[in-house]
Amino acid sequence: MIILITGTRKGIGKAIAEHFLAHGDTVIGCSRTLPDWAENFSNYEHFTLDVSDEEKVLKMFGKIRKNYGGLDALINNAGIASMNHSLLTPIETVKNIFSTNTIGTFLFCREAAKIMRKKKFGRIVNFVTFAVPFKLEGEASYAASKAAIVSLTETLAREYADFGITVNAVAPPAIQTDLIRGVPEEKMNRLLQRQAIHRFGTFEDVINAIEFFLRKESDFVTGQVLYLGGV
């Protein structure tokens, strides 16, 4: 498969990219800065850009169309968060969160679908969050940006269905990455207790869900949001 993954510099994005690369897939990645592991794989190409920068994103998709002739899957992993009370959150922070999380996801879905529809096949997996159903205090902007992606996923699933493109979303559980490193231990423990399964998630948990959505046999699965760990 030819798979485009956003936010591959580190964390979940890096783990997903390395997984599919190890299985022989062609992976195209992007992030704001170049990852330090990219040279380890001959079947990997990286683009350095901001996912909400339409001009640079359009240029990237133009090169994908020219160099690969198609695209099988898109995994919209790139995202940023701000864990702060709404009364203490600057408007610039809100704009940045929505720009990366919501606008970036929309832009990549739109451009990927333009390529995928020519072959009547495509798999899009967006990333959302358990902060939406849990209504997590201190994450108003982040949760709102991801709630928009839930709605986007469900709507695009209907818009793209006739093109043979499925659109689904996965909500990773709390995973010990940079995103939650600054969260107090007591708060994380309370969050884990709210999950049906009371443990941190792993990269393998997320990859397993993504692989299900990407399978050829999953062509009847679309518009779904999978909350790992149980909400």
**Looking at residue 182, what is its pLDDT?**
66
Q: Does 142 participate in catalysis according to the annotation?
A: yes
Count of CB atoms situated within 10 Å of the CB of 169: 26
pLDDT band per the 50, 70, 90 thresholds, residue 72: very high
H or E stretch at 35: none
> Which residue segment(s) compose the domain that 107 sits in?
2-227
CATH number at residue 135: 3.40.50.720
Comparison of pLDDT for 51 and 130, the residue scoring more: 51
Catalytic residue (one of 44, 68, 142, 227): 142
Strand ranges of the sheet holding 73-76, from the earlier edge strand across to the other edge: 44-48, 26-31, 2-6, 73-76, 122-127, 165-171, 225-227
Statement: residue 34 has pLDDT above 80? yes
Statement: residue 132 has pLDDT above 80? yes
Statement: residue 178 has pLDDT above 70? no
Q: Is-above-0.75 flag for pTM?
A: yes
